[in-house]
Structure 1
Amino acid sequence: GARFPLEMAQDADVGSNSLLTYHLSRNPSFSLALKESLEGSKQPELVLERALDREKQSSFDLVLTAVDGGDPARSGTVQVLINVTDLNDNPPVFSENVYESRVAENLPEGSLVLRVRATDADAGTNGRVSYSFGNVHGTISALFTVDSNSGEVRTAGPLDFEEKNKYNDNAPEITVLSLSSPVPEDAPSGTVVALLKVRDRDSDENGQVSCELSGEAPLSIVASPGGSYKVVTASALDREQACEHRVTVMARDRGRPALWSSAELVLEVSDVNDNAPVFEEAAYSAYVAENNAAGALVLRVQARDADAGANGRVSY
């Protein structure tokens, strides 16, 4: 919808032989609009029809044609060259998902371990990539450095094979394999509502993980062999008390300092017809005159049902 004024054409003729209209070469990204002034002149405007993506097409070459009203009509053309400027709308992308390297423990300080490479589809400074370590433990940053320009990772201190298992640089990873939601409110205690897989890429104590639930919900977590966990109901559910439960799974390793991660589970509780209708009054009484006509209102009773949907619909 953005508009960009274009230069107006000049026609030395007058009357019907003067400038009549404009045409633009066909392009799905742009159209032409004519803005008429009080004096009757027509200002051509370029109208943007859809969002541009410089990384897909950085320039457009259009032709604007001015046509007069003579017979035969005469026309003139001008080239309209559009350059699309860059926005920083693309993140850097590494050439590999994971970089691995094996090094000897007797490597001298400053030895090359590996070289990482990332590219950015943006242009100029928006596409310039610099490298640095993220949130890693100080032990790791004391052993390795990364060159901000080249991406070269080098040793910064002596390596010790016997100490390598002490590097706790990976937080536990939680994967929700399945989530049974909604769960009927009459589900028995111990019903499995979620299956989780938790793993830590570190070794020994740094890779040993414990899980717990935080949040007020009648649920508990049970460990299974191989890093699997079950979330089960710990007591009866009552939809009329809580139709939804939110709990956070916390996974923490045994490193020093410990690293942790979390995942939220949202469990909806579906309705079961477990509530009888309840009248608003324990007893109703009314006085009726003996000469009342048939169909006269005597009284109105009302009952409510705490269940939902059809289970909570009351008939008399």
Structure 2
Amino acid sequence: NPSFTLAMKESTDGSKQPELVLERALDREKQSSFELVLTASDGGDPARSGTVQIHINVTDANDNPPVFSKSVYEARIAENLPAGSLVLRVQATDADAGSNGRVSYSFGNVPEEVHALFIVDSDSGEVRTVGPLDFEEKNKYIVSLEARDGGGFTAHCKAQIDITDENDNAPEITILSLSSPVPEDAPTGTVVALLKVRDRDSGENGQVSCELSGEAPLSIRPELVLAKALDREEAAFHELVLRAIDGGDPARTGTARIRVTVLDANDNAPVFSQAEYTVRVPEDVPVGSTLVTVTATDADEGLNGQVKYS
């Protein structure tokens, strides 16, 4: 066997003793045992010999570090997964035996936010969630994981965890400015309100369409503008609900209530209660007598609706 040689050691009394000498380093992971036969022969004629079986077991030394099956593990998981959900599983092997080959897992140098969201099982290498994931807060985590054997050797790998979006945010409507009251003689296209509509989700979940409910001479483009002429005498104010609907399934909706008051314009002439008044007066009626009372009304309000006679 090339790993061993036989050397003869001669003692002071002239006797010789065989010694088994190790010629090269052993590797238990390649060969864990050796079966040798030692033969002793005398000098007679014919010679006689005897043999003995030598069984050599190679004990393990911690000379192998753990090795991960991948240098980078990848996973895609949805936000809002319940705590305890499996994210991924890392695996490392160690060629040594016994405790030297027993591998335990842990996170490497990672920030506290990772510990707040994920946990790794030291025995199985399973990475699971422990806290709520929010795509809108952070959509990717790259974490370091460590495998350590019983002798202290370590190995490292990376795990890239991508968080996918769920439709968990309703659209938000902000009224940046509102011009109210609006003169009733304002032209079509006048901007009544500036709006900001936002949905924190992404993709189709964050695509928003808007609509108005209620009868109102207003439209969205995307400002709130007059779509047709106002008439205070028909409606002194308009109350409407603006709805923003996202593209998720199921869709989420945000609403905002808007009240627009119409400011009077002097667009109505006074109207007499009769088109013609006929009065028969005696010729001897005293000076200063009331001959007839006429009445006129004006649909406008305030000073615009106060009628004077002449």
TM-score normalised by L of structure 2: 0.50
* Structure 1 residues 112 and 194: alpha-carbon distance in aligned structure 2, compared to 1, 3 A threshold: same
Residue 164 of structure 1 is matched in structure 2 by 164
Q: For the residues of structure 2 that align with 1:176 and 1:313, how far apart are their CA atoms?
A: 36
8 A Cα contact 2:273 2:296, kept in partner: yes
Report the AA paired with residue 249 of structure 1.
L
Structure (1 or 2) with the greater strand fraction: 2
SS at match of 1:266: strand
| 2:273 paired with 1:274 | no
8 A Cα contact 2:297 2:305, kept in partner: yes
Q: For the residues of structure 2 that align with 1:244 and 1:210, how far apart are their CA atoms?
A: 25
Of the three residues 263, 276, 288, the one matched with 1:295 is 288
Report the AA paired with residue 184 of structure 1.
P
Larger radius of gyration: 2
Residue 189 of structure 2 is matched in structure 1 by 190
Q: For the residues of structure 2 that align with 1:178 and 1:312, how far apart are their CA atoms?
A: 31
Residue 211 of structure 2 is matched in structure 1 by 212
Residue 6 of structure 1 is matched in structure 2 by none
* Structure 1 residues 275 and 261: alpha-carbon distance in aligned structure 2, compared to 1, 3 A threshold: same
Q: Post-superposition, which runs of at least 4 consecutive aligned residues in structure 1 deviate over 3 A?
A: 100-111, 160-163
Of the three residues 251, 254, 275, the one matched with 2:244 is 251
Residue 130 of structure 2 is matched in structure 1 by 112
- Structure 1: any 5+ residue segments left out of the alignment? 1-99, 116-159, 224-229
Q: For the residues of structure 2 that align with 1:269 and 1:257, how far apart are their CA atoms?
A: 38
Cα deviation 1:109-131 (Å, max 9, x = unaligned)? 7642279xxxxxxxxxxxxxxxx
Q: For the residues of structure 1 that align with 2:237 and 2:307, how far apart are their CA atoms?
A: 25
Residue 263 of structure 1 is matched in structure 2 by 256
Residue 37 of structure 1 is matched in structure 2 by none
Pairwise CA distance, 1:163: 6.9
Of the three residues 227, 230, 234, the one matched with 1:237 is 230
Cα deviation 1:225-280 (Å, max 9, x = unaligned)? xxxxx000000000011010011110010000000010010000000111100000
8 A Cα contact 1:105 1:161, kept in partner: no
TM-score normalised by L of structure 1: 0.49
* Structure 1 residues 106 and 201: alpha-carbon distance in aligned structure 2, compared to 1, 3 A threshold: farther
- Structure 2: any 5+ residue segments left out of the alignment? 1-111, 134-159
Q: For the residues of structure 1 that align with 2:119 and 2:185, how far apart are their CA atoms?
A: 60
Aligned residues: 166
Residue 132 of structure 1 is matched in structure 2 by none
